[in-house]
């Protein structure tokens, strides 16, 4: 199987047939500076005219968007985690338990003693709570399963190395939906077609920054040439590590990973699955050779069964 279905691939545009092309563009989302303002979500919808995606209170912290989908191309996750003694200390602000020293201080009235077991901070104990925010988006994979499986060619690779759906060609077959290892692309029910982030293809063409990155006040979303972003991200992780934030890690940056690296990659402060990301995504077509081989073998087996069924007695 050709290497271009998996593994390292340094010039994805060339692989897609562009001989001359601009550098590969992408996102580096540094979640350590995200303030959860959701400006990215709104800017994306505003620019791309994405319809409303339902009005329901989820009960999941401040995340009422809940997931990426056909009508949500940016999604800001809010991870509320109590800092159990067992949880890794992020060095980020915890909500210190007020009055944790009240035992030594002694209660105001001697008659009343607080039960030792009942801690100040309710469930989370003295260590408090931590609130991580992270803006998720289509990863514009080097090996994009959605694109690979699309039977119509509706999904295509742009000259910037991004992955875009052409709504006029999409026939709503829905194949891209379960193919994406990140659960990004989805089919809009009322409309039947598949939609996802285009990395603002129209804006890129006019030299503009994608709407979400433009709107982000803290530069959590950084847009640029992928190579440059990767270098920047490496620096940032080192910086955070130096500050003792050992939990900082890059996600989707490694060109050797299961999807050949993401065009949109992230700096995370916890395991990917905590943010709803797969820990080790693999493009499904990595196994395509094996899949077709088995399909072929099974077809052969069926042929053999068919032939064998006619061997022997004429009854």
Partner 1 sequence: MAECHPVGFQWVMEAKRKGATIFHVDPRFTRTSAVSDIHVPIRAGTDIAFLGGLVNYVLSHELDFREYVVAYTNAATIIGEAFEDTEDLDGLFSGWDPESGQYDPETWQYAGAPKAPAAGQRDPAQPAGDRAGAEDASTGHDHEKTSHGAARSEAAGSGGPSVPHRGERDETLQHPRCVFQILKRHFARYTPEMVHEICGISREQFGQVADALTKNSNRERTSAFCYAVGWTHHSVGVQNIRTASILQLLLGNIGRPGGGIMALRGHASIQGSTDIPTLFNILPGYIPMPHAAQHDSLDDFVAADAGKVGFWGNMRSYTISLLKAYWGDAATVENDFCFDYLPRITGDHSTYSTVLGQIEGRVKGYFLVGENPAVGSSNGKMQRLGLANLDWLVVRDMAMIESATFWKDGAEIATGELATDEIGTEVFFLPAASHVEKAGSFTQTQRMLQWRTKAVEPPGDARSDLQFYYELGQRIRTKLAGSTDEMDRPLLDLTWDYPTEGPLGEPDGHAVLREINGTGPDGEPLSAYTELKDDGSTSCGCWIYCGVYADGVNQAARRKPHWEQNEVALEWGWVWPANRRILYNRASADPDGKPWSERKKYVWWEASADEGRGRWTGDDVPDFIADRPPDHVPADDATGPDAIGGRDPFVMQTDGKGWLFASAGLADGPLPTHYEPPESPVHNALYRQQNNPPRKSIDHRANPLNPSYSTVFPYVFTTYRLTEHHTAGAMSRTLSYLSELQPEMFCEISPRLARQRGLTNGGWATIVTSRTAIEARVLVTERLRSLRIGDQYVEQVGLPYHWGGTGLTTGDSANDLVNLTLDPNVFIQDKVGTCDIQPGRRPRGPELVSYVDAYRVRARDDDGREPENRSDA
Partner 2 sequence: MRERAMVPEPEFESYYGKQIIKTPTWKTPDVPIYLFVGGMAGASALLAEGAARSGRPGLEGVARGAAAGGAVVGTVALIHDLGRPERFLNMLRVLKVTSPLSVGSFILAPFAGLSVAAFASHVSGRVPRIGRLAGLGAAAFGPPLTTYTAALLCNTAVPAWHEGHQEMPFLFAGSGATAAGGLAMVLTPAAENGPARRMAIAGAGLELAAAQRLKHRLGMVAEPYEIGRPGLLMRTARAMTAASAVVSLVAGRNRAVSVVAGTSYVAASLITRFGVFEAGLTSARDPKYTVIPQRERLERRRAEREHEDARPAR
Give me the count of residues in the chain.
315
The CA distance from 34 to 42, in Å, is 15
* Number of amino acids touching partner 1 (CB under 8 A): 60
Closest CB to partner 1 among 102 and 290? Answer: 102
Q: Are 129 and 78 in contact (CB under 8 A)?
A: no
Of the residues 4, 14, 87, 128, which one makes contact with partner 1 according to CB under 8 A: 128
C-alpha distances out from residue 138 to 78, 125, 265, 305, Å? 18, 37, 9, 45
Closest CB to partner 1 among 41 and 159? Answer: 41
Give residue for tokens 């003693």.
113
Distance of CA 315 to the CA centre of its chain: 60
The strands making up 249-251's β-sheet, listed across from edge to edge, are 221-225, 25-30, 264-268, 249-251
The CA distance from 75 to 264, in Å, is 14
Of the residues 6, 24, 38, 230, which one makes contact with ligand SF4 according to CB under 6 A: 38
Q: Which range in 5-13, 86-94, 147-155, 301-309 contacts ligand SF4 by CB under 6 A?
A: 147-155
Of the residues 17, 22, 98, 244, which one makes contact with partner 1 according to CB under 8 A: 98
User: Does 67 help bind partner 1 (rule: CB under 8 A)?
Assistant: no
Site mask for ligand SF4 (CB under 6 A), range 16-35, x = bound:
------------------xx
Site mask for partner 2 (CB under 8 A), range 153-192, x = bound:
xx--------------xxxxxxx-xxxxxxxxxxx---xx
Name all contacts of 69-72 with Cβ < 8 Å and 24+ positions apart.
69/186, 70/185, 70/186, 70/187, 70/188, 70/189, 70/191, 70/194, 70/195, 70/196, 71/188, 71/195, 72/41
Minimum CB separation of residue 198 from partner 1 in Å reads 18
Contact residues: ligand SF4, CB under 6 A: 34-40, 43-44, 47-48, 73-74, 76, 133, 135, 137-141, 144-146, 150, 152, 154-155, 163, 165, 170-176, 180, 182, 184-185, 187, 194, 196-200, 210-212, 215-218, 220-221
């Amino acid at each position: 199987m050709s290497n271009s279905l998996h593994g390292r691939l340094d010039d994805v545009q060339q692989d897609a047939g562009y001989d001359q092309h601009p550098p590969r563009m992408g996102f580096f989302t540094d979640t350590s500076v995200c303030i959860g303002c959701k400006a990215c979500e709104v800017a994306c919808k505003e620019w791309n005219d994405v319809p409303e995606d339902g009005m329901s209170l989820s009960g999941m912290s401040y995340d009422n968007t809940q997931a990426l989908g056909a009508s949500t191309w940016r999604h800001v996750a809010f991870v509320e985690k109590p800092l159990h003694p067992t949880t890794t200390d992020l060095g980020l602000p915890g909500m210190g338990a007020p009055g944790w020293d009240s035992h030594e201080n002694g209660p105001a009235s001697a008659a009343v003693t607080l039960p030792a077991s009942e801690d100040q901070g309710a469930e989370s104990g003295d260590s408090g709570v931590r609130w991580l925010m992270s803006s998720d988006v289509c990863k514009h994979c080097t090996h994009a399963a959605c694109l690979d499986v699309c039977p119509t060619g509706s999904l295509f690779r742009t000259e910037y190395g991004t992955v875009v759906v052409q709504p006029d060609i999409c026939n709503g077959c829905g194949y891209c939906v379960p193919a994406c290892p990140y659960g990004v692309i989805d089919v809009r029910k009322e409309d039947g077609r598949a939609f996802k982030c285009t990395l603002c293809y129209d804006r890129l063409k006019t030299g503009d920054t994608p709407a979400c990155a433009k709107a982000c006040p803290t530069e959590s979303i950084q847009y640029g040439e992928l190579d440059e972003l990767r270098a920047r991200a490496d620096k940032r992780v080192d910086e955070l590590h130096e500050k003792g934030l050992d939990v900082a890690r890059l996600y989707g940056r490694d060109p050797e990973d299961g999807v050949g690296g993401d065009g949109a990659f992230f700096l995370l402060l916890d395991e990917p699955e905590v943010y709803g990301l797969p820990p080790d995504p693999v493009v499904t077509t990595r196994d395509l050779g094996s899949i077709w081989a088995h399909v072929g073998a099974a077809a052969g087996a069926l042929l053999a069964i068919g032939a064998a069924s006619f061997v022997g007695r004429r009854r």
